[in-house]
Structure 1
Amino acid sequence: MKYLVMVQGTQADYEGMRGKASAHSPAWSEQELQAMYAYMGAINDDLAETGELIDGQGLAEPARTRLVARGADGKAEITDGPYGETKELLAGYWVLECASLERVTEIAERVARCPQPAGAADHPVVIRPILDGAGDICPTD
């Protein structure tokens, strides 16, 4: 089965990774940032080696986000970031093909142990099965 594994973050997290501390995130040192990149890179390498990795990407900071919604008049309303420091958004993801929910949960547990500086927020790692077809939206079993 395919799964979407998501990590979340806030604008404050991205600012902290650039060395700018706030009430919501400590400043990351270059060593801490490199340790995080190395850790995530090792996960990507391992998943590619096992054949479970379909895709995985880190995403740009929330301040570079654009929302497009339908307004009351039916026309598009476009809003650019930045967003509040405490609003969590998708920071990165993997699309994985795993034999079981237990296996993808093991991977998510590994992701959750990513090194970070003391005081950094522990955001959950979210697992969502990817539906294979329209019949999967409302399964009968």
Structure 2
Amino acid sequence: MKYLILMQVDPSAFDSLTAEEQTAIGTGHQAFIEQITASGEMLSTHALGDPTQTTTIRGTGGKPEVIDGPFAETKEFMGGYYLIDVESKERAIELAQLIPDAGIKGLSLEIRPVMFSGGANM
């Protein structure tokens, strides 16, 4: 079954980390990617730009409205995701706990089942 692990970021939490801690996060993500690629559970991963680079298209009941900036004003934003293919929800949770973000206050991971897939290699 496919699961999406969404990485939620609180920029103030990330900015409060030392340079060494930030580097360790990057190194930890690379190790995680290597591990789940080797196990065959990795489908894809992408890091996303911060909300200042966002364009939102909002339904207005008529013509779509294009707005610079995120849809909602929140302190947390989705920083990226992993798309995985695993045997169970328990395995998805087990893998998510290996992501460095799981142990850092102010960062969180959201695990959601994929209900439909389309496009390249799906």
TM range (shorter): 0.7 to 0.9
Tell me how far apart the structure 1 counterparts of residues 80 and 101 of structure 2 sit (CA, whole Å): 15
Partner SS state of residue 79, structure 1: strand
| Larger Rg, first or second structure (1 or 2) | 1
More strand, by proportion: 2
Q: TM-score, with normalisation over the residues of structure 2?
A: 0.80
Q: TM-score, with normalisation over the residues of structure 1?
A: 0.70
Q: CA RMSD in A?
A: 2.3
Q: Is the 8 A contact 2:101 2:109 kept in 1?
A: no
Q: Is the 8 A contact 1:36 1:115 kept in 2?
A: no
Question: Cα distance, 1:62 vs. partner?
Answer: 1.2
Unaligned runs of 5+ in 1: 17-25, 134-141
Q: Which moved further from structure 2: 62-71 or 47-56?
A: 62-71
Partner of 1:137: none
Q: Which amino acid aligns with 2:40?
A: G
Q: Is the 8 A contact 2:5 2:110 kept in 1?
A: yes
Aligned length: 116
The answer to whether structure 1 residue 2 and structure 2 residue 2 are counterparts is: yes
With a CA cutoff of 8 Å and minimum separation of 6, indicate the structure with the bigger relative contact order. Answer: 2
**Cα pair distance change 1:44/1:68, threshold 3 Å:** same
Q: Is the 8 A contact 1:56 1:94 kept in 2?
A: yes
The answer to whether structure 1 residue 77 and structure 2 residue 61 are counterparts is: no
The C-alpha deviation readout for 1:62-98, integer Å capped at 9, x for no partner, is 11111101224x11211112674x4322111011000
Q: Which amino acid aligns with 2:49?
A: A
Tell me how far apart the structure 1 counterparts of residues 69 and 12 of structure 2 sit (CA, whole Å): 13
- 2:79 pairs, out of 91, 95, 104, with 91
The answer to whether structure 1 residue 37 and structure 2 residue 26 are counterparts is: yes
| Paired-residue identity, % | 28
Partner of 1:105: 93
